[in-house]
Amino acid sequence: MKRIWIYLKNYKLECVLAPLFKMLEALFELFVPLVVSSLIDVGISGADRPYIVKMCLLMAALAVIGLACSITAQFFAAKAAVGAAAELRSSLFSHIQQLSFTEMDMAGTSTLITRMTSDVNQVQNGINLVLRLFLRSPFIVFGAVIMAFTIDWKAAMVFAAAVPLLALAVFGIMLVTRPLYKKVQAGLDRILAITRENLAGVRVVRAFCMEQQELERFRQSNEELNRMQKFVGKISGLMNPLTYVIVNFAIIMLVWIGALRVNSGTLTQGQAVALCNYMSQILVELIKLANLVVSITKALACAARIDNIFNINTGMKDGGICLQPQQAPRGTPAVEFRNVSLRYKNAGENALENISFKVMPGQTVGIIGGTGSGKSSLVNMIPRFYDATEGEVYVFGKDVRSYTLSSLRQRVAVVLQKAQVFQGSIRENIQWGDRDACDEDIMSALKAAQASEFVEKKAGKLDAMVEQGGRNLSGGQRQRLTIARAIVRRPDILVLDDSASALDFATDAALRRSIRKLDPQPALFIVSQRAASLMHADIIVVLDDGCIAGIGTHNELLENCSVYQEIYYSQFKKEVQA
């Protein structure tokens, strides 16, 4: 709740005016039973038609004024709720963007999406309802009790007995359902995770004929969520029957007591009707309050879940040094690993162990190894996607942790394994690498990435649109666009993390030749399963189960490294046999 108030600070006026106008509406509503009482006791009893017309006009005026107050209150409540939710969502998105890969891996993509969409919407609805009804309903309830006491204190004792019972029913159910709504939202997370996984991997699901199994998995999770929702719904559903029973029993008591007191002459017929009207008002408001409590319970549960994300603090602290282009003295390694080990969060063992080697500016380094040997983990530490748990990674003579993240990643360009492009034009996608890149720079980068040929053939060329996720592009086209996006930045360090896997050998070779001709020449890291892609690298680092199995040139490793020999000869058997 404290965090919600932070975002409501900019809407202080709306937060005051919304309940104020609602209470004004409630005040006018409390006068209606008194008008009805006078209408019966004076107008109808005395057959005074002018008085009856006067009272009817007064009730109509009260209704119009109440409606105007209600609309005004709704406007201010909606403005505050939507505005605060927008700021909360923006702040949450900004916080998520600051999390390292470790924290995002721990939280999970589906959970983060649910927090930013469903949970924020529930909080928004909760704020809106609270501003409109949280003060109005209690104001009506207690106002009706006070007005009843002004009419006849003995008959009003029924109100004094009924209200605490109603409060006990409403707030008791709220306390029981609040933790249950948290479980419901957690179940929604699981449903979203399964849905996202299946939509993203629909081709794989169909390729392996796993539709029925996935349908069954979804059905089980959906039924579990359904059971939880029904269970909490049954408890919440008790609220209306309980309040109806208590209030209707109170009305029966009022009618009985009112009849006795009217018969004895201590209470008029109009006053008896007014007491019943006040009890009916209490019934209506408590039903509203019951629904409000359910919504508030959901909103509080969702707010707590959102707060849990805000409480995730990244362990990756920003350094204080701004990395400038080519600022290191001559002879300083572009990248140096010193006894580096890496263990992922909650992992049982290290993913990388005791890694040490140097890479000079302009050198090409190949990283090769079996699946799961730690190739991507190694290069991901250069731009600080993950921090080493032991040892240090140096970039241009300084620990990467001493640089600001923005300046470090400005000089280190990474093309990740999964080629990710965004909806928009080709120009806009390439300008992710350099916002100020002109068309000439973009075309030069596309040419170096072997992508200019297919871009030139598209209608609109650089203005050709890329659909969401690049679904109107082939895998190789997406990879070449992401490589061009990295090249246009003119980085000092370029990391290609298995980013040419969808390219044929000829295009891959042409790509590597183009990158070697870049000016300035970056320190190039190539992660690949293909020995042919790394044969001409200045240094090849061979990884095996997180450890370095060998470092050297192609010829040196072919003579001395059994792991490299195994990889190479598995791909070039024909040449060996010849």
- Interval 449-491: pLDDT, tens: 888 888 888 888 888 888 887 878 888 888 888 888 888 888 8
* DSSP assignment letter at 401: G
* DSSP assignment letter at 343: -
Q: Dump pLDDT digits (tens) for 174-224.
A: 778 777 877 887 787 788 788 878 887 888 888 888 888 889 888 998 888
Cβ within 8 Å of residue 19, ≥6 positions away: 73, 131, 132, 134, 135, 136
Identity (one letter) of the amino acid at 389? Answer: T
User: 216: which 2 tokens?
Assistant: 């069954």
Cβ within 8 Å of residue 151, ≥6 positions away: 37, 267, 271, 274, 275
Q: Is residue 323 part of a domain?
A: no
Q: Is residue 324 part of a domain?
A: no
- Tell me, what CATH number does 180's domain have? 1.20.1560.10
Quick check: pTM over 0.75? no
Question: Does residue 576 carry a pLDDT above 60?
Answer: no
Q: pLDDT: is 43 or 226 the higher one? A: 226
Question: What confidence score (pLDDT) does residue 75 get?
Answer: 92
Same domain, 362 and 291: no
Same domain, 238 and 368: no
Cβ within 8 Å of residue 373, ≥6 positions away: 543, 544, 545, 546
Tell me whether the omega of the peptide bond preceding residue 520 falls within 30 degrees of 0, making it cis. yes
What secondary structure does DSSP assign to 166-197, as a single string? HHHHHHHHHHHHHHHHHHHHHHHHHHHHHHHH
Same domain, 200 and 274: yes
Question: What confidence score (pLDDT) does residue 306 get?
Answer: 86
Same domain, 48 and 94: yes
Structural domain boundaries, residue 495? 335-577
Report the distance separating Cα 76 and Cα 19, nearest Å.
9
Q: Dump pLDDT digits (tens) for 58-97.
A: 888 888 998 999 899 999 999 999 988 898 899 889 888 8
Residue 288 contacts residue 134 (beta carbons within 8 Å) = no
Burial class (CB in 10 A: 0-12, 13-18, 19+), 94: exposed
Residue 445 contacts residue 430 (beta carbons within 8 Å) = yes
Q: Dump pLDDT digits (tens) for 257-286.
A: 878 877 777 778 887 888 888 877 777 777
Nearest to 373 by CA among 390, 351, 355, 340: 351
Report the distance separating Cα 306 and Cα 337, nearest Å.
38
Report the distance separating Cα 123 and Cα 376, nearest Å.
39
Report the distance separating Cα 565 and Cα 544, nearest Å.
13
Return mean pLDDT, the chain: 83
Same domain, 296 and 376: no
Report the distance separating Cα 555 and Cα 561, nearest Å.
10
Nearest to 368 by CA among 544, 562, 507: 544
Q: Is residue 325 part of a domain?
A: no
Cβ within 8 Å of residue 185, ≥6 positions away: 114, 118, 119, 301, 302, 305
Nearest to 365 by CA among 136, 523, 234: 523
Strands in 547-552's sheet, in edge-to-edge order, are 412-415, 493-497, 523-527, 364-369, 539-544, 547-552
Same domain, 163 and 247: yes
Burial class (CB in 10 A: 0-12, 13-18, 19+), 217: middle
Same domain, 264 and 124: yes
What is the end-to-end Cα distance of the chain in Å, rounded? 74
Same domain, 128 and 240: yes
User: 454: which 2 tokens?
Assistant: 């297919």
Same domain, 259 and 339: no
Q: Is residue 28 part of a domain?
A: yes
Report the distance separating Cα 554 and Cα 536, nearest Å.
7
Q: What is the mean pLDDT of residues 555-570?
A: 86
Count of Cβ atoms closer than 10 Å to residue 548 Cβ: 21
Report the distance separating Cα 48 and Cα 314, nearest Å.
77
Report the distance separating Cα 375 and Cα 482, nearest Å.
19
Q: What is the mean pLDDT of residues 143-168?
A: 79
Q: Is residue 492 part of a domain?
A: yes
Nearest to 540 by CA among 558, 526, 553: 553
Same domain, 365 and 423: yes
Q: What is the mean pLDDT of residues 163-178?
A: 78
Q: Dump pLDDT digits (tens) for 513-526.
A: 888 888 778 888 98
Q: Is residue 327 part of a domain?
A: no
Q: Which of these three, 244, 277, 310, is where a domain ends? A: 310
How many domains in the chain?
2
Q: Dump pLDDT digits (tens) for 371-405.
A: 878 888 888 888 888 888 888 898 888 888 888 88
Q: Is residue 320 part of a domain?
A: no
Same domain, 63 and 170: yes
pLDDT band at 1 (very low <50, low <70, confident <90, very high): low
With the C-alpha atoms ordered 255, 261, 267, 269, is the resulting torsion angle positive or negative? positive
Same domain, 223 and 348: no
Q: Which of these three, 310, 325, 356, is where a domain ends? A: 310
Determine the number of helices (DSSP H) and then strands (DSSP E) in the chain. Answer: 22, 12
Question: What confidence score (pLDDT) does residue 328 get?
Answer: 58
Residue 437 dihedral angles phi and psi, to the nearest 5°: -65, 130
Q: Which of these three, 273, 295, 310, is where a domain ends? A: 310
Question: Does residue 137 carry a pLDDT above 50?
Answer: yes
Q: Is residue 111 part of a domain?
A: yes
- Tell me, what CATH number does 482's domain have? 3.40.50.300
Report the distance separating Cα 503 and Cα 506, nearest Å.
8
Q: Crossing angle for the helix pair 136-151 and 153-200, nearest 10 degrees?
A: 170
Q: What b/e sequence results for 497-535 when a residue is b if at least 16 CB atoms lie within 10 Å of its CB, and e otherwise?
A: bbbbbbbeeebbbebbebbeebeeebbbbbbbebbebbb
Q: What is the mean pLDDT of residues 122-144?
A: 84
